[in-house]
Amino acid sequence: MQVLVRDNNVEQALRVLKKKLQREGLFREMKARRAYEKPSEKRNREKAEAVRRSRKLARKQAQRDGLLPAPKKRVPLTRPSRPPA
C-alpha cells in the first residue's frame, strides 16, 4: 500500500493511510486476531455477515425498483455563528 505525501503534509497522508486501511478491513482483522475464535463461532459470524450483506443488497435493489422509499438525506448540523464581540 502506498500513500503520497504532498507538500510535506504528513497529517493528511496519515488520514489517507488510515482510510485505506479501514477500507481494506485491516483494523477489523487485527481486532479479530487478538483472541482465539472457535471454528463454530467463526462459522456463525461469517454466516451472520453473509445474511447481513444479502439483506442490504436486497434492500438496495428494492429501493432502486421503487418498492421501498429511498433513505433520507442527512443534513449536516451547523452551529449558529456567534456575533463578533
Q: CA torsion, points 17, 21, 27, 32, in degrees to nearest 10?
A: -160
Predicted pLDDT at 52: 97
Predicted pLDDT at 23: 95
Q: CA torsion, points 43, 49, 54, 56, in degrees to nearest 10?
A: 170
CA distance 60 to 58: 5
In which domain, by residue range, is 51 found?
A: 37-67
The amino acid occupying position 25 is G
C-alpha grid cell, residue 74:
442527512
Point out the least confidently predicted range of 6-10, 30-34, 66-70, 77-81: 77-81
Do 8 and 21 lie in one domain? The reply is yes
Coil/strand/helix, residue 52:
helix
CA distance 51 to 48: 5
In a domain, 22, yes or no: yes
Predicted pLDDT at 9: 94
Is the per-residue pLDDT at 80 higher than 80?
no
Do 3 and 31 lie in one domain? The reply is yes
Predicted pLDDT at 72: 84
In this predicted model, what pLDDT tens digit does every residue of 36-79 receive, in sequence order? 999 999 999 999 999 999 999 999 999 999 998 888 888 877 77
Predicted pLDDT at 85: 63
State the total domains in the chain: 2
In a domain, 83, yes or no: no
